Amino acid sequence: MRSRFSAYKLGGYGQYLINTWAVETCPTHNPIELNTPDLDWQHLDILDKSIDGNSGIVEFKAYYLEPGGSLAYLHERSSFVRAQGKWLYVKGEIY
């Protein structure tokens, strides 16, 4: 989760995001669409995590600056699956 947050924050890592996304749920296969940050991401707080075999859950808050400068956050519970030794993002439930 931390590496995916960093990829969104830094920008230019669209291919990395695609490579760490489960193929069946990836919304795009064009890395250029994911290269440019859409928000000014600030920091990440991991609230909870669990692993059950090849499935994992990470609950987090990712903070970003709104255009007016106010700090806001995305609160999500993300599902991951381990395939061929790599953790892949499947989907997220936004709170």
Domains of the chain: 2-94 (3.10.450.50)
pLDDT tens digits along 37-79 = 889 999 999 999 999 999 999 999 999 999 889 999 999 999 9
Whole-structure pTM value: 0.91
Q: What are phi and psi of 18, to 5 degrees?
A: -65, -40
Strand order in the sheet with 40-52: 40-52, 55-65, 71-83, 86-94
User: pLDDT exceeding 70 applies to what percent of the chain?
Assistant: 100
Name the region of 38 (left: φ>0; alpha: ψ -120 to 50; beta: rest).
alpha
Give the whole-angstrom CA distance, residue 13 versus residue 48: 25
